[in-house]
A and B are shown apart, each in its own frame.
Chain A
Amino acid sequence: AQSVAQPEDQVNVAEGNPLTVKCTYSVSGNPYLFWYVQYPNRGLQFLLKYITGDNLVKGSYGFEAEFNKSQTSFHLKKPSALVSDSALYFCAGGGATNKLIFGTGTLLAVQP
């Protein structure tokens, strides 16, 4: 069965510091991996995706993610966190099926 795991319920980081939000996956075949962000009472906003190609994927708002096949990970990163980055982040897997499988989400709290 395909699954996506986010091992941290919450990540706390000081503004200006680098941030990492972790994601591991178990997806059959070639993995399609995504990061979405959700602000309170809002839908999901797409940040970035890995389909194929370079392992380092750059996305919106200065975020990037590194695909690591050997560790089956797809961690979200940003060199310098902003208070406005505080939100709920979801990792998701897709592929040949027509649906996305989401992790349970990680709440990112950036302190001023």
Chain B
Amino acid sequence: ETGVTQSPTHLIKTRGQQVTLRCSSQSGHNTVSWYQQALGQGPQFIFQYYREEENGRGNFPPRFSGLQFPNYSSELNVNALELDDSALYLCASSLVSQAGRGGYTFGSGTRLTVV
């Protein structure tokens, strides 16, 4: 059984650019959620994908978008990067029935720095 893997581990981008972060979910999991963890803060829910569609969204602007693929892997895309987008981005996979019950497996995250 493999865990959740995220790539890349670190990334530096310039303000205004676009970025794509990738996540491979744990074997057997059908749901992927993305969280943003700013420095000194707890993770904030961005959105969740289930059956290749968005299945809930937090308080993030539309320039944050995502995809889920048939193999349940996922991408997080952020357009028009801002300095405040600098954060650790965490991917978490689960079964859809267990998401609210904490049945998440988290990846190690992608550290995004916007300069």
B72 at the interface (CB under 8 A from A): no
B42 touches A105 (CB 8 A): yes
Q: What per-residue 1/0 map shows which CB atoms of A77-110 lie under 8 Å from chain B?
A: 0000000000000101011111111111100000
Interface residues on B, range: 20 to 34
List CB contacts (< 8 Å) of B27-71 with chain A: 31, 33, 35, 40-45, 48, 55-56, 58
Q: Return 26 A-B CB contacts under 8 Å, by A number.
A: A32-B100, A34-B102, A41-B111, A43-B107, A43-B108, A44-B90, A46-B102, A49-B102, A90-B42, A92-B102, A98-B33, A98-B55, A98-B56, A98-B99, A99-B33, A99-B48, A99-B56, A99-B100, A100-B45, A100-B104, A101-B45, A103-B42, A104-B40, A104-B41, A104-B42, A105-B40
Instruction: Tell me the dominant secondary structure on chain B's binding face.
Output: mixed
Interface residues on A, range: 20 to 34
Q: Does A45 contact B (CB under 8 A)?
A: yes
Contacts of B41 in A (CB 8 A): 104-105
Residue among B48, B92, B102, B104 with the most chain A CB within 10 A?
B102
Binary flags per residue of A37-53, CB closer than 8 Å to B gives 1, else 0: 00001111110010100
Chain A residues lying within 8 Å of B102, measured Cβ to Cβ, are 32, 34, 46, 49, 92, 94, 100
CA distance A95 to B48 in the complex (A): 15
Nearest Cβ on chain B to A15's Cβ, whole angstroms: 26
Q: Which B residue's beta carbon lies closest to that of A32?
A: B101
- By CB atoms of chain B within 10 A, which of A43, A100, A105 has the most? A43
